[in-house]
């Protein structure tokens, strides 16, 4: 349902509004995108002042070009209705309509987050390494944020021990931050997953 990419570009469209629109258009979101009009937006409770802006901005969105750009960057997208979308994330108050993903790892796995300071002590780094390594028998996927410090150590330890790892980024997947983790980013993309909202 590539039209959900279009809806995700507008902050006014949250999961609740998208479900209402889905009911009206019998879950045909491509048709909903094509037919979207001021009346639909008003029925969704979108403020009058935003309706004209959304309609005008929608005319400039070319989903085909957007998909081509994602393919060129080897980035996939997972919409909120996909079976690949993390079930637990779908249950939060305001889940993202789309996740952008790079890498082969499936997301609906037993995951444990390991996050911490960007300026860890030697003890903190050793503790992170030990904890991550000892989680291997549990079959956990290690999730962290690719930041310097503890996050980096968690991802590195996971990769060194053939433990699946997912990096959830605060930037888009077309921009590596921090730059110091470029190689780590690339390594995770080979066997794990890089995710961004």
pLDDT in tens, 135-164: 999 999 999 999 999 999 999 999 999 999
For residue 108, pLDDT beyond 90? no
For residue 106, pLDDT beyond 80? yes
| Closest by CA position to 196, among listed 94, 77, 71, 114 | 77
- Residue reference for tokens 């479900």: 19
Question: Mean pLDDT for the chain?
Answer: 95
pLDDT attached to residue 162: 97
79-84 mean pLDDT: 93
- Rounded Cα gap, residues 143 and 113, in angstroms: 5
**Which pLDDT band holds residue 109 (cuts at 50, 70, 90)?**
confident
For residue 1, pLDDT beyond 70? no
Kindly list the distances between the CA atom of residue 93 and the CA atoms of 14, 16, 76, 89, 168, in Å, as whole numbers in the listed order. Answer: 10, 10, 24, 9, 19
Q: Beta-carbon neighbour count of residue 17 at 10 Å?
A: 19
- Rounded Cα gap, residues 98 and 62, in angstroms: 17
For the whole model, what pTM was predicted?
Answer: 0.91
| Closest by CA position to 176, among listed 159, 152, 158, 153 | 152
- Rounded Cα gap, residues 115 and 149, in angstroms: 9
Helix (H) or strand (E) holding 113: strand 111-113
Q: In terms of C-beta density within 10 A (0-12 exposed, 13-18 middle, 19 or more buried), how is residue 77 classed?
A: middle
Residue 147: both structure tokens together:
């930041």
């Amino acid at each position: 349902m590539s039209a959900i990419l279009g809806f995700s570009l507008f902050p006014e469209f949250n999961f609740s509004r998208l479900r209402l629109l889905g009911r009206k258009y019998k879950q045909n979101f491509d048709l909903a995108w094509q037919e979207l009009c001021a009346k639909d937006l008003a029925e969704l409770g979108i403020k009058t002042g935003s309706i004209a802006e959304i309609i005008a901005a929608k005319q400039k969105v070319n989903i085909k070009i957007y998909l081509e750009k994602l393919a060129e960057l080897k980035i996939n997208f997972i919409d909120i209705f996909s079976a690949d979308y993390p079930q637990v994330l779908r249950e939060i108050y305001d889940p993202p309509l789309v996740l952008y993903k790079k890498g082969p790892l499936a997301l609906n796995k037993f995951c444990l987050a390991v996050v911490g300071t960007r300026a860890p002590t030697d003890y903190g780094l050793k503790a992170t390494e030990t904890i991550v390594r000892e989680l291997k028998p549990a079959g956990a996927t290690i999730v962290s944020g690719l930041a310097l410090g503890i996050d980096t150590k968690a991802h590195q330890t996971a990769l060194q021990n053939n433990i699946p790892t997912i990096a959830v980024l605060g930037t888009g997947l077309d921009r590596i931050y921090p730059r110091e983790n470029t190689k780590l980013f690339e390594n995770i993309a080979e066997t794990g997953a890089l995710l961004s909202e």
